[in-house]
């Protein structure tokens, strides 16, 4: 709650400043979200363990592989009113089925985590069948990786050929190494997707 109180005065200013933009029907929902999320810098303590960074760097997002999408392409439950409690109308059976499995790996919006399946269905299928996926989907343990454990922030994913990518050949050892012994990994086949 403290965090929210701290950012409220900022919010009022933002509304004042952006009022004409908000009235413009041409502004798509992605930009509407960024009116606040691209402007407020701060973290909000949802619970003792869940701390949410609400700032999204709009320019960096627009250059990412998903930069042409609206925020609601993944934050589907936030359609309509921005902060409708996640779990709203998802209208997609694949996503709805995944949500309970990925909930424990999500901080605030399991629908957004599950939404990757909408456009990357075959990768999701491969992951589910892998040792990593079975850890989450069959054993229901949570130490195996889901998409973001290997690809980093969902807002700034770069093509794998670029050095910013967490799965670029220069970063992959570090990314897998968050959970694995690096020497062991070097002997394994690195580059396998899941």
**Closest CB to ligand HEC among 101 and 109?**
109
Angstrom CA distances, 76 to 71, 81, 155, stand at 8, 11, 15
Reported as half-sphere exposure (CB side, CA atoms, 13 A), residue 185 has a value of 14
**Closest CB to ligand HEC among 82 and 88?**
82
**Closest CB to ligand HEC among 36 and 90?**
36
Smallest separation, CB 48 to ligand HEC (Å) = 14
Smallest separation, CB 82 to ligand HEC (Å) = 3
Smallest separation, CB 120 to ligand HEC (Å) = 4
Smallest separation, CB 155 to ligand HEC (Å) = 5
Smallest separation, CB 40 to ligand HEC (Å) = 6
């Amino acid at each position: 709650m403290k965090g929210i109180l701290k950012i409220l005065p900022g919010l009022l200013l933002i509304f004042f400043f952006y009022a004409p933009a908000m009235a413009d029907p041409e502004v798509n929902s992605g930009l509407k979200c960024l009116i606040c999320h691209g402007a407020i810098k701060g973290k909000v303590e949802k619970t003792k363990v869940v701390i949410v960074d609400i700032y999204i760097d709009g320019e960096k997002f627009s250059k990412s592989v998903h930069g042409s999408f609206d925020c609601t392409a993944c934050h589907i439950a936030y359609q309509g009113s921005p902060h409708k409690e996640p779990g709203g109308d998802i209208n997609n059976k694949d996503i709805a089925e995944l949500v309970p499995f990925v909930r424990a790996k999500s901080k605030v919006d399991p629908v957004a985590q599950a939404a990757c399946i909408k456009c990357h269905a075959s990768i999701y299928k491969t992951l589910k069948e892998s040792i990593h996926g079975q850890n989450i989907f069959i054993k229901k343990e949570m130490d195996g990786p889901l998409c973001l454990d290997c690809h980093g922030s969902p807002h700034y994913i770069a093509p794998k050929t670029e050095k910013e990518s967490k799965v670029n050949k220069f970063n992959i050892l570090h990314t897998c190494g968050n959970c694995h012994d690096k020497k062991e990994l070097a002997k394994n086949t690195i580059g396998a997707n899941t």
